[in-house]
């Protein structure tokens, strides 16, 4: 009986891609442990341990999704979030300014937009790194006494910015020479790296009596149920039938063909949650770092108002997830473009007039996106609900749902699908027993 794991390493191209990806991710984990020049690692450890004990959610959030790089003040402490923030800004500019959209549709326009996004990443990273240097000044003993303050600020900003650009380049290298989506895999690796810490934190809390063992067991069962629901939702599809008539191309005649358009229940995947988190966390990080370092009252008030377990934050988070679900779906699945392509290839949707095709597809997408986005919002709110109801450590709560769970499931399914595609292309069985990761028709 064929073993799919052994089959993976029998194919040289696939084996090289997987090993290359693992090598890049290993470099990321090593870089997350290397502090920027001029900081005292021991002082940082003492400070952030005290922060965890006091239940400060925002700092824990930054640290969790950077794989511990934030609390280490490492060269990768900003993670890949500046690039994501820059991508969001560029996507919004494409919708607001027709000239920029026209540039993207020209020959080589995609490369120009990518170049603009990279320059934007530099600006966002410099801004965030400046806030981080101000924040470091508020940590007792964090900056070496022998370090010139001006030299430290310049060196820290350049080091952290270059670290983010290096992560962006590493993600692109995985896309080209590895397996899976590079940016998503880097975030995925950071979350997985925090799992042992989260489990140990939960065990310690149970031993200390701070967390009820029965509550912990209930939460573990809920976690398994939520994972099953996320997998079901990620694989769900609404299939729109499309019929193509006979047509002549050159001297060849192509017969009639019946196919379908697979609209996922959640067409935008985990993107709305990542975008919503970035939009909220970008100003929060600036306010947290600058407000704490410079003792600016109104910034500290802003941070308190947008507490990650507070009603204002949760309401804004939900609304942003729904907004980005609609926004990103309109960008990636434009009903006008889809209808145009169907008509150009001589296709039609049964029971729908050609001139009503755009309206029909738009209606279907709207019906799909609303429940899909609300489901995403529910999953994203689980960490805050878990913290409020069961008093679990923040690292465990972040692992329970929200961005982390959706990224873990989504990236895993996407990577498995790519590996399966390579196996089937080389006449091997897939990763599942039937040789195919199936989507559910809903």
State residue 1's pLDDT score: 47
**Residue 320's Cα: distance from chain center in Å?**
15
Mean pLDDT of 17-38: 89
Q: Collect all residues with Cβ–Cβ distance below 8 Å to 207 and sequence separation of at least 6.
A: none
Structurally, how many domains does the chain consist of?
A: 2
Give the total residue count for the chain. 442
Entry pTM: 0.75
Domain boundary among 187, 219, 253: 187
28 pLDDT band, cuts 50/70/90, is: very high
359 plus 389 within the same structural domain: yes
State residue 237's pLDDT score: 76
10 Å CB burial of residue 137 (0-12, 13-18, 19+) is middle
285 plus 318 within the same structural domain: yes
State residue 309's pLDDT score: 67
Mean pLDDT of 300-310: 69
253 plus 147 within the same structural domain: no
Domain boundary among 187, 206, 241: 187
What range defines the domain where residue 23 resides? Answer: 1-187
- Give percent above pLDDT 90 in the chain: 6
Domain boundary among 134, 154, 187: 187
| Residue 54 in this model has a pLDDT that exceeds 60 | no
Residue pointed to by tokens 């919708």: 95
203 plus 165 within the same structural domain: no
Rg over alpha carbons for the chain, rounded to the nearest Å, is: 24
SS3 231: helix
350 plus 376 within the same structural domain: yes
205 plus 183 within the same structural domain: no
92 plus 201 within the same structural domain: no
- Tens of pLDDT, residue by residue over 120-142, are 899 888 888 887 777 777 777 77
- Tens of pLDDT, residue by residue over 371-397, are 888 888 887 777 667 767 776 766 676
What count of other Cβ atoms lies within 10 Å of the Cβ of residue 393? 22
307 plus 434 within the same structural domain: yes
Helix (H) or strand (E) holding 257: strand 257-264
Mean model confidence pLDDT for the chain: 77
Residue 430's CATH number: 1.10.3370.10
| Rounded Cα distance, 131 and 121, in Å | 15
Pure H helices in 333-356 = 335-344
């Amino acid at each position: 009986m064929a073993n799919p794991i052994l089959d993976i390493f029998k194919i040289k191209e696939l084996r090289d891609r997987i090993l290359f990806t693992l090598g890049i991710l290993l470099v990321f984990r090593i870089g997350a442990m290397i502090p920027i020049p001029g900081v005292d690692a021991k002082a940082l450890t003492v400070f952030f341990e005290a922060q965890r004990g006091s239940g400060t959610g925002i700092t824990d959030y930054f640290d969790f999704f950077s794989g511990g790089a934030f609390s280490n003040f490492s060269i990768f402490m900003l993670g890949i979030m500046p690039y994501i923030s820059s991508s969001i800004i560029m996507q919004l500019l494409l919708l607001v300014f027709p000239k920029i959209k026209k540039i993207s549709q020209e020959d080589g326009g995609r490369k120009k937009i990518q170049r603009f996004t990279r320059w934007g990443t530099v600006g966002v990273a410099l801004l965030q790194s400046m806030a981080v240097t101000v924040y470091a000044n508020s940590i007792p003993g964090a900056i070496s006494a022998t370090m010139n303050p001006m030299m430290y600020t310049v060196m820290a900003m350049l080091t952290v910015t270059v670290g983010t650009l290096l992560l962006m380049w590493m993600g692109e290298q995985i896309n080209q020479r590895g397996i899976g989506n590079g940016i998503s895999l880097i975030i995925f690796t950071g979350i997985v790296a925090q799992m042992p810490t989260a489990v140990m934190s939960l065990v310690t809390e149970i031993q200390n009596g701070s967390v009820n063992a029965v509550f912990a067991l209930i939460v573990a069962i809920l976690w398994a149920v939520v994972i099953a629901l996320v997998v079901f939702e990620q694989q769900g599809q609404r299939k729109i039938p499309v019929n193509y008539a006979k047509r002549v191309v050159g001297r060849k005649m192509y017969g009639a063909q019946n196919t379908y358009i697979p609209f996922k229940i959640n067409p935008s995947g985990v993107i709305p949650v990542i975008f919503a988190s970035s939009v909220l966390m970008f100003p929060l990080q600036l306010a947290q770092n600058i407000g704490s370092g410079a003792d600016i009252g109104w910034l500290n008030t802003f941070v308190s108002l947008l507490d990650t377990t507070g009603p204002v934050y949760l309401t804004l988070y939900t609304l942003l997830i729904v907004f980005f679900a609609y926004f990103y779906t309109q960008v990636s699945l434009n009903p006008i473009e889809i209808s145009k392509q169907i008509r150009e290839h001589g296709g039609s949707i049964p029971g729908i007039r050609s001139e009503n095709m755009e309206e029909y597809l738009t209606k279907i997408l709207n019906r799909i996106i609303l429940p899909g986005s609300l489901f995403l919002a529910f999953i994203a709110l689980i960490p805050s609900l878990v913290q409020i109801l069961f008093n679990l450590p923040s690292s465990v709560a972040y692992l329970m749902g929200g961005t982390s769970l959706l990224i873990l499931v989504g990236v895993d399914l996407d990577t498995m699908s790519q590996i399966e595609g390579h196996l089937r292309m080389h006449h091997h069985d897939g990763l599942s027993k039937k040789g195919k990761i199936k989507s559910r028709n809903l």
